[in-house]
Each structure stands twice: as structure tokens, then as C-alpha cells.
Structure 1
Amino acid sequence: MPASSPQVRRRKVFYIPGYDPFPPRRYRELYRKEGAQQAEISGYGLRVSGNPPDAQEDSYGWQASGLIDDTRVHADFEVLVWSDIVQSTMSTTIPGTYWQLLRTSWIYIASGTLRRLAVLPKGPLAAALYPIGVLILQLSVALLAAHLLGWALSAGFRALALGLIGDGAVLRWGMALLYWGPFFASVVVILRWFKAQDRRIYAYYLMNDFAFSASHKGATPPQLQDRLDAFRATIASALQQDYDEVLVVGHSSGAHLAVSILADILRDLKEPPTALSLLSLGQVIPMVSFLPDAHQLRADLQFLSERDEIVWIDVTAPGDGCSFALCDPVSTSGVATRDKQWPLVFSAQFSRSMGEAQWQKLRRKYFRLHFQYLCAFQNPLDYDYFQITAGPLTLGTRYATRPPSKSRIDVPVSKYTSTRP
């Protein structure tokens, strides 16, 4: 455990989003809206304002001032933005997306990773199979509808023209033209219509997400590695400033990015840092760490899990079908050692902490629940995102006596456990 004061007056919070093509402004507005609700529910003060005055020109964040337990705390937030990379990797064509489907499916199936992931909670696997199933269904519907249209047109032409031109080559060519022309045109029109509905269906979005994770079989894509190096320098600089705690929040696929960034920072540091904390939320680390070439990520998981200089808390919830709920990412990846200390794995217990009305309203909205960690709870238990980020206790102090969830999965599952190529 890092040696530091448990009392926080100034905190720096770095938020690393998952595979999200949208601009970071949404996270500030979400924090402002949900933080106000949580403060009213829990009876503390929280005020949110714009970017810190000393923020760099190309950074995006906000300030939060909390009055919790009679203690005033100031927190500077910064979103570590990689949405531009996400946008550049999202296929904009229908054929490109179907090629991603074939390639990604082959990587997970041929490597045996899919079979190992099936041992873990089924939510993320279902989320991974969902876009594959939906895209195949959409293609099947388009082909069937196009076939029926082409058949109707060609059959109608035959019935009308048979008596006029006879059953010869002209008739056959005319039938073929009336079948295949509308067939291909209909397939294109129907698939484009399905793609236009993806803002509600998410099939193309999720397919792009999983394809990006698998694009280098678990190794970090070069364009992303450059960005991670920049993130590392930004966080390392904050550790040299006058903050009582530097808190890194990695959400969804941003969790494994945070692991790799912080592992590199700790490898380079010559002196113990200011209280350095990692909060991973709704993580999907096994989707990457179980792949054959994820050697560096597995090495980073192992390294970070052994360090005294950091506190690492991993929060998921069985109600979040898009995360590997209560799966210890180090142990399930097969890289836990006798020196393992982290992460502390526990559940946000959505079904209890959200309140009955809120839970019943959202329990089937899986993608919304994946962001619930960043939102207000009607009956908060021991997880409160706003007290963690704007409250007076370091992450380590807050959960110093918190036991891990008894139902966590902390046994080796991955087929690939090597930490070197």
C-alpha cells in the first residue's frame, strides 16, 4: 500500500473511456447531471465547473468541488481522449463490416479463446456474439427478401411473355435480368436500411469494437500505442504535482489501457509516487488478455498486481451484461503469482443499490447499465463514484477493510498465459 495521507484535499482524476467514438463532452455532462442527483440523494455537496484553468489546450476535463463529511475537496478531471482513433477504425462500409465479422470470428474460434471465454459469465460472450448473430440475420433477411422479389418479377415476366416470344433464349435472358437486377439492388437497399437503424441496434458498433480488440490478436495496435505513450507522460507529470491522490479510472475497454499505462509508469519511477490509484469499472480485460499475442498485457497485469506503490480496485456488477462481472482479470488470465495483491474485486450490486423502481426500469437496457458505474444510485451501498472522485478519502483508505466478493472468479482460465513473445 502506498505510504500517503488518507485525507485528500486535492485530487487529479484521469478518466479513460472505452471504445467510444463520441466526443468527451458527454462524460462531463454525465458527471454534472448524475453527480447532482447523487449529492441530493446522499446529502452532500458537489459542484461541477469547466476545464481547470491550467489545463493544456488540447486536453478536455472539468473541475469538481465536493463537500463530503465536512471536508472540502477539489478534483481536477481530465479525459484521456482516443475517440479519434476509434472513429478511424470503425468500418464505414457494409462489406468492410462483414469482412470484420469473418476475420474476428476466425481469430477467436481458431485460437480457442472463444471456448475459454465461454467458461466465464456469459454476458460479455453474448455481447460478442450478438453483432455476429444480428449481422448474419440481417444478411439472411436481405437475401430472402431479394430472392422473393426477383422470383416474383421473373415469374410474372414469364407468364406474360411466354405466349408472345415462346420458351426460348430471349425469355430466359429476360427472366434472368428481372431476377438478378432487383436481387442485388434489394440486398443493397435492405442492408443500408439496417445499417441506418444501428443507433438503436448497435450491431455495427459492437462488431467494430470486437474487431479492433482482436485486430492484432491481443497486441496493442501501433496507432493506439503512440496515444498510450502520450497518456503515460500526462499521468507521470501529474504525479510530480501537488495532488494528494492521482486516480486513474478505466472504464470498459479503457480498463486494460489503464493497466498497461500504469505498469509502464511504475517501471520507470525511481521514487514511490503520490497516492496512485486505479479504479477499473465494467472491465472486459479477458476479451483481450485471453488472445494469443497479448503477451505485453498479461505481463502488465502480472506486474501491476504485485506492486506496493498502487491501489487497484476492480468494480463490476452481475447486472452489467457487457462486463466480465466479478472476474479477477489477473487470475483468470493465468498470470497471478504468490506476490499478487491486486485487484480487490467486488460488486456494485446494481439490483440492491439502484432501488427497485430504477432497477426494474433499466435491468433490460444492457448498454445503459454498462455506464451505471458513472451514475447515481437510489440506495448507494459502499460504491459511490462521486464520493470516490470528489470525497476526502483515498481509494486505498476507502476500501482498506473491504473484503472481495465471495462469488468472484479467481482461477486460471486462459489458454494463453505467456508474458513474453
Structure 2
Amino acid sequence: MNPRVVAGETMTGKPVVKRLVFHIGGYDPITSHVGAQRRFAREIVRFQRTWSVKATVDGLHDTVDQIRWNVTTTGPDWRVETDYRLVRWHDVIEAFGRRSIGSRISVGILAFLDFVLAGTLWRYLRTNWRYALFFLYPFVTFGLLIATAVLFGVFAFKITGSIPIAAGAGLFGVAAVLAGPWRWLHLGDLFDDWIFSREYIRCGNSKIEQRLERLAAELVAAASNSAADEIVVIGHSLGAVLAVDLLDRALKQDPELGRNKIPVTFLSVGSSILKVGLHPKAIRFRTAMERVAKSRAIFWGDYQALVDPLNFYKSRPMAEMGLSTENEATVRVVRFSRMLDDDIYRRIRLNFFRLHGQFVSGNDKRSSYDYFMLTCGPISARSQTLAPDGAVSMIADDGGLIASAPPSASELLGSPGAAA
């Protein structure tokens, strides 16, 4: 039995009327607050069709720390108001992207060597070989492209016998790589992703840390004073790492977070927690992770997908990091093929970045995992995570709530580390 579940607790309980959501995205620059809201509004349309509900998105408010808007969702017998807050860190991402190409390449190679020589690559291979391939992809691809440019110069020398012509041909090949594949294959962003990760592990990022400290104070205040029925902190990809950092800072400010008035749920989706947590030098992060996991008042659900190589499928994060598993995450395995129309899934199944983004996109079919149901639906995020089929058996065909007898504690399929 999950130690986080109270015996006799209902799966649905009282429907959520108000919810506060802090969402931290992955290493994905969002240059426009209007664009961020438009993307959200576009995807929530699919949610409305799939679950036979209505939704409105309005009230855009932009600050230095977050982009906020209001979401109102309604069914035949329920209404939910969600205060949605998208934590900003695109400015940090863009600062990395503004560095010279030479700097990004050299520091990126340094980051690659750091993860390899520290033994982190081996830990990736042992935990999830697909993620190890994702780690290798940008560096190996770049190396092969540069090697091709050099061979172009060697070929020119064999034909002409001229060193200047060969050198010029080689430099032209390198320039072509940087002008084309470097951008087309998003190698620059992937190099920056690993550069940031190494910096975060080794010395932290002062701008991110100051922002998370301010947001932690907001989270603590909201947990005591807001009218929300639940607070959901959701981290996607590398954003899950920052979500742990945010919750840890909030717990330092208020060790009773989630115990007094408003429950707090932490959802890591398509998580990169082990990307950072498996590095030997990530001691500060693992300490924070352990504090968050030990807080019984914070429920932690971890969603993973097999076909997504950018997350750690069927892993137990706490165990893999060598930390106590007494209060580890409730792990849920999701299948994108059951969430999307067949033609859409076939079209994107080899586009790994698009697959990774499905964790925060709308579904075409009702499924145990639905980002918008978790963040905007009438069933608490905790109850959806604990239920074997999420909200599927709790929402009728017309979008109304289905009343059902509360299950016993033994029927709750949410034991720590379970891959359902």
C-alpha cells in the first residue's frame, strides 16, 4: 500500500472547483507570452472534443517570473477555475543561445566530456539505453558532420594537390555545416541544453535560483491563503528538475507545506530528473530531491513513456539515484499510441521532439494520462494519478461526473514505483 494514501480515501472525493498550477517547461525557449498562451489554447481545443467539455482561456498577465492566465472548464455538472502559471526561464535559455558558435561548441564538448568522464553516460546506459543515445546524438552527429567537412578538404587536395585549395574546401565544408545542419538538426539548442545541465550541476544558475526563491514564497503563501482546492506543480522534461528545486525551496520556507490547508501535488512528466540526478556531482540536487520525496504531504506522480527517448522509461527515480525509496514516486507508464488518432501517431512516431511534447499537448482519445484533465479537470491530480485509468472511469460520455462508491485502500493501484 502506498504510504502516501490514507486508508479509505475516495478516488474522486469532492470535485475540484479551483486549482492553482505552476508549470515549468523543459529546455524550450518561449519568446512570446502571447505565443505561449496561443499554444495552450490550441491544444485545449482537443481536450474539449475528447472529453465533451467546454473551456475558455483568458486573462493573460506577464511578469518577469511567470506568464499567467485563467482557464475555466465546465461540464454538465461541474465547473473548474484554474489559475495557470507558466514559470519563465526562456530568458536564461536565450542567453545561452546568444553566445558565439565557437563558445557553444567548445563548452558543449567540455560538457560532453564531463558527463562521460564522470561515469554519467554509463549510468544512462545502465538505466535507460535510449536516453544514452539521446545524450550521444548531438555530439556524435556534430562530430560526423565535421569529419565529413574535413574529408571534403582531403578529397580536394587529392584532386588538386593544392594545400590552400584543400584548406579552403575544408573551411567551406565546416561553414556549410554551421549554416545548415547545425540549425536544421537543432544541434545548437541540444549543445546548450547539456551546457546548462552541467552548469546547474556544478555551480547552479543564479538567475534561475533567485526566480525559484521568489516563486517558492508565492507557493507557500498560496498554500495557506488561496481559495484553491489543490496546488499542482508540474515539471516537463528538464523542468521537472527545476520543479524539485522550487518545491525544496518552498519546504525550507514552510516545512508544513501541504499539511495545513491546501494539498500539493507534484507531477513530473517526461522527466529529466535522472539526467541531472545520475551525475556524481549532483549532490545538491539529490539532497533536494530527497527532502521533497520525504515530505508525505506532497504527493509525487511520475509519468513515463516508452517511445519517448527523452525520458527514463520504467525507472524508479529514487532507487536509481541511490536514495531512500520509502516515499518514492507513484510511477505511471503512458502510451502515446492510445492517446492519439492512428494517423497522427504514425506521422509523429519518429519525430522524437514532437513525441516528447505530447506530455503537454492535447489528446485525441480519452486516456489514463491527459495533461489538460490533470491541470484543468474536476478530478484532483492526485486521484487521477492513483486511479488505474486516470479520469476515464470518472467522466461520462457527456462530460459529466460519474458517481461511484469509494474504493478500499487495497484497491488503490498507486504503490511506489509501480509501473501501471
Instruction: Please state how far the C-alpha of 1:18 moved relative to its aligned partner.
Output: 1.1
Paired residues for 1:1-400 under 5 Å: 1=4, 6-23=14-31, 24-51=33-60, 59-68=66-75, 70-90=77-97, 92-153=99-160, 155=161, 175-180=162-167, 182-183=168-169, 185-194=171-180, 197-215=181-199, 217=201, 219-239=203-223, 240-269=225-254, 271=256, 272-273=259-260, 274-338=262-326, 340=327, 342-400=328-386
Aligned mates of 1:189, 1:321 — CA distance in 2: 30
Aligned mates of 1:152, 1:44 — CA distance in 2: 68
2:234 alignment partner, SS class:
strand
Instruction: Please state how far the C-alpha of 1:231 moved relative to its aligned partner.
Output: 2.4
8 Å contact kept, 1:250–1:257: yes
Aligned mates of 2:51, 2:30 — CA distance in 1: 30
Instruction: Please state how far the C-alpha of 1:305 moved relative to its aligned partner.
Output: 1.5
Instruction: Please state how far the C-alpha of 1:119 moved relative to its aligned partner.
Output: 1.1
RMSD between superposed Cα atoms in Å: 2.6
1:215–1:42 distance in 2 versus 1, CA, 3 Å: same
Q: Give the TM-score normalised by structure 1.
A: 0.83
Aligned residue number for residue 394 of structure 2: none
Aligned mates of 1:404, 1:397 — CA distance in 2: 10
Letter in 1 for 2:248: A
Overall identity of the aligned pairs, in %: 24
1:20 alignment partner, SS class:
coil
2:127 alignment partner, SS class:
coil
1:366–1:177 distance in 2 versus 1, CA, 3 Å: closer
Instruction: Please state how far the C-alpha of 1:56 moved relative to its aligned partner.
Output: 5.4
Aligned mates of 1:46, 1:11 — CA distance in 2: 14
Instruction: Please state how far the C-alpha of 1:356 moved relative to its aligned partner.
Output: 2.4
8 Å contact kept, 1:11–1:247: yes
1:247–1:335 distance in 2 versus 1, CA, 3 Å: same
1:187–1:91 distance in 2 versus 1, CA, 3 Å: farther
Spell out, residue by residue over 1:253-305, the C-alpha distance to the aligned partner (whole angstroms, 9 max, x if none). 00011012112212321542411111111001111111122112111221222
2:56 alignment partner, SS class:
strand
Gaps of 5+ in 2: 389-412
1:326–1:380 distance in 2 versus 1, CA, 3 Å: farther
Letter in 1 for 2:208: L
Aligned mates of 2:309, 2:118 — CA distance in 1: 24
Aligned mates of 2:356, 2:207 — CA distance in 1: 26
Aligned residue number for residue 163 of structure 1: none
Which has the larger displacement, 124-133 or 182-191?
Answer: 182-191
Aligned mates of 2:65, 2:288 — CA distance in 1: 28
Instruction: Please state how far the C-alpha of 1:97 moved relative to its aligned partner.
Output: 3.0
Letter in 2 for 1:372: Q
2:307 alignment partner, SS class:
coil
Letter in 2 for 1:263: D
Letter in 2 for 1:205: D
Aligned residues: 382
Gaps of 5+ in 1: 156-174, 410-421
Letter in 1 for 2:50: I
Aligned mates of 2:245, 2:201 — CA distance in 1: 16
Spell out, residue by residue over 1:290-327, the C-alpha distance to the aligned partner (whole angstroms, 9 max, x if none). 11221121112212222221111111211212111232
Letter in 2 for 1:202: H
Spell out, residue by residue over 1:338-374, the C-alpha distance to the aligned partner (whole angstroms, 9 max, x if none). 3x1x311101211222242222121111000101012
Aligned mates of 1:406, 1:266 — CA distance in 2: 22
8 Å contact kept, 1:289–1:298: yes
Aligned mates of 2:82, 2:5 — CA distance in 1: 20
1:86 alignment partner, SS class:
helix
Q: Give the TM-score normalised by structure 2.
A: 0.83
Aligned residue number for residue 412 of structure 1: none
Letter in 2 for 1:255: A
8 Å contact kept, 2:318–2:325: no
Instruction: Please state how far the C-alpha of 1:408 moved relative to its aligned partner.
Output: 5.9
